[in-house]
Chain A
Amino acid sequence: MTVRKNQATLTPAEKRAFTSALQELKRNGSYDRFVTTHNGFIMSDTDSGDRVGHRSPSFLPWHRRFLLEFEEALQKVDASLALPYWDWTADRTSRSSLWAPDFLGGTGRARDGQVMDGPFAYATGKWNINVRVDGRAYLRRDLGTSVAQLPTRAEVDAVLAMPVYDMAPWNSSSNGFRNHLEGWRGANLHNRVHVWVGGQMSTGASPNDPVFWMHHAFIDKLWAEWQAKHPQSTYLPGAGTQNVVDLNDTMRPWNNVTPADMLDHRKFYTFDTEPVAAASQR
Chain B
Amino acid sequence: MKKITRRQALGTTAGVLTALGLTAAAAGATSAAATPTEPTTPGSVDEVYQGRRIQITPGGGGHHGGHHSPGQPTVRIDGRELHIMRNADGTWISVINHYETFADPKLLARAAVRDLQGAALVPFGGAA
Contacts and interface: CB of A to CB of B under 8 A. Distances in A.
Interface in A150-196: 169, 171-173, 183-184, 190-192, 194-195
A105 interface: no
A46 B117 contact: no
Interface string B116-128: 1101111011111
B95 A49 contact: no
Contacts of A146: 100
A205 interface: yes
A9 to B, nearest CB: 27
A102 to B, nearest CB: 28
A195 B89 contact: no
B2 interface: no
A54 to B, nearest CB: 9
Interface in B13-49: none
Contacts of A43: 68, 83, 85, 95, 124
Q: What DSSP secondary structure best describes chain A's contact surface?
A: loop
Interface in B43-78: 68-69
B5 interface: no
A213 B97 CA distance: 19
B88 interface: yes
A203 B86 CA distance: 16
B88 A171 contact: yes
B115 interface: yes
A172 B89 contact: yes
Interface stretch (A63-71, A80-88, A125-133, A219-227): A125-133
B83 to A, nearest CB: 6
Among B83, B100, B120, B121, find the residue whose CB has the most chain A CB atoms closer than 10 A: B100
Nearest to A190: B99
Nearest to B121: A134
The size class of the interface chain B forms with chain A is: 20 to 34
A202 B115 contact: yes
A44 B126 contact: no
A36 interface: yes
Contact of B68 (A49, A131, A169, A194): A49
A206 interface: yes
Nearest to A136: B119
Given A130-B128, A131-B126, A135-B120, A48 B99 contact: no
Nearest to B84: A43
Contact of B85 (A39, A46, A136): A46
Contact of A195 (B87, B88, B100, B127): B100
Contact of B96 (A46, A47, A133, A184): A133
Interface of A: 32, 35-36, 39-40, 42-44, 46-49, 55, 112-113, 130-137, 146-147, 169, 171-173, 183-184, 190-192, 194-195, 202-206
What are the nearest 5 A-B pairs in CB distance?
Answer: A173-B88, A194-B99, A191-B99, A47-B88, A204-B95
21 contacts: A35-B126, A39-B95, A39-B125, A40-B125, A42-B95, A42-B98, A44-B68, A46-B68, A46-B85, A47-B86, A48-B69, A113-B117, A133-B83, A133-B121, A135-B119, A135-B120, A169-B88, A202-B98, A203-B97, A204-B83, A206-B99
Interface of B: 68-69, 83, 85-89, 95-101, 115-117, 119-122, 124-128
